[in-house]
Amino acid sequence: MDLQLKGKTAFISGSTQGIGFAIATQLLREGAIVTINGRSQERIDEAITKLKGLVHGAVVTGIAADFSKAEDVAKLIHQLPDVDILINNAGIFEPKAFADITDEDWLRFYEVNVLSGVRLARHYFPKMLEKNWGRIIFISSESAIHIPEEMIHYGMTKTAQLSISRGLAELTKKTGVTVNSVLPGPTRSEGVEEFIKQLAVSQGVTTEQAEADFFKTARPTSLIQRFATVGEIANLVTYVASPLSAATNGAALRADGGLVKTIV
Ligand code: NAD
């Protein structure tokens, strides 16, 4: 299937590793022109070298920006004034008991996971409407629906993304712009490997045990009973980014391994 992404420009926040890196790989394979992002130029350069090795002829550049800093986002927008496809992927997560989550934690999670996408969409969305084509995709999570008891602050940010995504979609009526969210379930990214290690420490068990217990106790409704691969998430995102997905707008699309027990 030709996803008609050749020559489209895309920006993916937080894409030097994990799900974001996998999305960059797939979009490049489809011939899109991709700008990746991370916090340091060194990590970006490493990722670009890797991407060029994975995809022959990849047209990929990178911009360093930390989404916990408004001034970095302003600089990024100045450097990259226009994109066809915006993927709001940058996100942080960590297990923490509710009573230990400080005001600073709440604000940091809100800024990196929610405001990052808001700040970027505030700039790119009106431009997409103007040219009558564009795609904005929020990488939310099944945690938007199943608020994880081990990180309520994270769940809050993922639900907020759904609200913003649907709200923006309401403003796209009769245009070629779509705004959707993709909700991955547990996915084996570098960040999740770190998360499992932290979980193991907090539970006083080995990493292997924490991983084995995770689907039994924390995510028992998962139908696949394993972590998804980052590529499996990127496949759905790449389709939603494509002109072929024009009839999908304002949707919250699950790639959660069937974890959320709902029919629709
Ligand atoms: P990851 O930790 O492997 O990668 C996250 C990326 O975001 C990294 O490239 C990191 O450098 C970047 N990032 C973090 N903070 C940043 C900041 N302040 N500024 C700029 N970049 C920053 O994580 P992942 O698992 O690939 O997660 C990607 C997205 O998918 C996140 O939004 C996450 O909430 C979501 N998600 C992940 C899972 C999962 O199980 N892996 C499940 C559901 C949703």
Q: Assess whether the C-beta atom of 66 lies below 6 angstroms from ligand 1.
A: yes
Torsional sign, CA 168, 142, 233, 38: positive
pLDDT score of 199 more than 90? no
Could you list the active site residues? Answer: 154
Q: Which tokens in the block code for residue 21?
A: 């890196």
* pLDDT score recorded for residue 218: 85
What is the spatial distance between Cα 120 and Cα 13, in angstroms, rounded to a whole number?
Answer: 9
DSSP string computed for 43-59: HHHHHHHHHHHHSTT--
| Angle in degrees, CA 74, 83, 114, rounded to 5 | 55
Residue 139 alpha carbon to ligand 1 centre in Å: 9
- The overall pTM is greater than 0.95: yes
Token pair 């080995």: residue: 206
Name the residue of 15, 72, 92, 112 whose CB sits within 8 Å of the most ligand 1 atoms, as the mutation to test its pocket: 92
Name the residue of 187, 215, 222 whose CB sits within 8 Å of the most ligand 1 atoms, as the mutation to test its pocket: 187
What is the spatial distance between Cα 199 and Cα 214, in angstroms, rounded to a whole number?
Answer: 9
User: In this structure, what DSSP letter does residue 228 have?
Assistant: B
* pLDDT score recorded for residue 225: 92
| Residues 117-137: tens digit of each pLDDT | 999 999 999 999 999 999 999
Q: Which tokens in the block code for residue 201?
A: 């420490």
Overall average pLDDT of the 230-243 stretch? 98
Torsional sign, CA 227, 232, 237, 239: negative
Q: Assess whether the C-beta atom of 93 lies below 6 angstroms from ligand 1.
A: yes
* pLDDT score recorded for residue 175: 98
User: In this structure, what DSSP letter does residue 214 have?
Assistant: I
Q: By the 8 A CB rule, do 151 and 93 touch? A: yes
HSE of 62 in the Cβ direction (CA atoms, 13 Å)? 28
| Residues 77-122: tens digit of each pLDDT | 999 999 999 999 999 999 899 999 999 999 999 999 999 999 999 9
Say if residue 216 is exposed, middle or buried (CB neighbours under 10 Å; 0-12, 13-18, 19+): exposed
Q: Which residue has the least CA distance to atom 32 on ligand 1?
A: 91
Q: Domain 9-187+229-255 class?
A: alpha beta
Partners of 62 in beta bridges: 36
* pLDDT score recorded for residue 32: 98
Residue 14 alpha carbon to ligand 1 centre in Å: 6
What is the spatial distance between Cα 57 and Cα 63, in angstroms, rounded to a whole number?
Answer: 20
Mean pLDDT of the chain: 97
**Do you know the residue count of the chain?**
264
Q: Assess whether the C-beta atom of 186 lies below 6 angstroms from ligand 1.
A: yes
* pLDDT score recorded for residue 141: 98
Q: Assess whether the C-beta atom of 187 lies below 6 angstroms from ligand 1.
A: yes
* pLDDT score recorded for residue 60: 98
Q: Which residue has the least CA distance to atom 39 on ligand 1?
A: 187
* pLDDT score recorded for residue 236: 98
| Residues 27-59: tens digit of each pLDDT | 999 999 999 999 999 999 999 999 999 999 999
pLDDT score of 242 more than 90? yes
Q: By the 8 A CB rule, do 88 and 121 touch? A: yes
pLDDT score of 212 more than 90? no
Q: Assess whether the C-beta atom of 139 lies below 6 angstroms from ligand 1.
A: yes
User: Nearest Cα to 29, choosing from 62, 52, 63?
Assistant: 52
* pLDDT score recorded for residue 188: 95
Domain extents in the chain: 9-187+229-255, 188-227
| Residues 147-173: tens digit of each pLDDT | 999 999 999 999 999 999 999 999 999
* pLDDT score recorded for residue 195: 87
* pLDDT score recorded for residue 233: 98
- Give the ranges where the chain is alpha helix by DSSP (H): 18-29, 41-54, 70-79, 103-109, 116-131, 152-170, 190-203, 207-213, 230-241
User: In this structure, what DSSP letter does residue 121 have?
Assistant: H
Q: Assess whether the C-beta atom of 257 lies below 6 angstroms from ligand 1.
A: no
Q: Phi, psi at residue 242, to the nearest 5°?
A: -80, 150
* pLDDT score recorded for residue 138: 99
* pLDDT score recorded for residue 24: 99
CB contact set of 103 (below 8 Å; sequence gap of 6+)? none
Percent of the chain with pLDDT over 90: 93
